[in-house]
Amino acid sequence: MTDEQKKTLAVFESKVRQLLFLCNTLKAENADLKDQLSATQQALQSIQDENRKLTVQYDYLKIARVVSFKPGEVTRARQKLSKLVREVEKCIALLNE
């Protein structure tokens, strides 16, 4: 093997080592990003669940307020209750699918 071939081989080996190092670095970075994504998705799910709970509580408070302060609007309160019941039934139907 000539000196030029040895130099070419050494350069090639050096570049392969660099590529392997970069590949390992990118794999580690990818794993970190996947962990961050998972944590962010869990946080988002938690916030969405809390938002749903608060929305339901707010709806209940509105209904309670209508019923307690305006007795003449019983029809409106019944409509809201019926709407809530329909929404719950839709959710149950979706869960059963």
DSSP state of 71: G
- Is the pLDDT at 47 greater than 60, yes or no? yes
| Domain limits for position 81 | 3-96
- The count of structural domains within the chain is 1
Residues 45 and 63 sit within 8 Å (Cβ to Cβ) = no
Which amino acid is it at 30?
Answer: N
Calculate the alpha carbon distances from 4 to 7, 15, 97 in Å. Answer: 5, 17, 70
Higher-pLDDT residue of 95, 45: 45
pTM above 0.75, yes or no: no
Residues 55-64, mean pLDDT to the nearest whole number: 86
Q: What is the pLDDT of residue 32?
A: 96
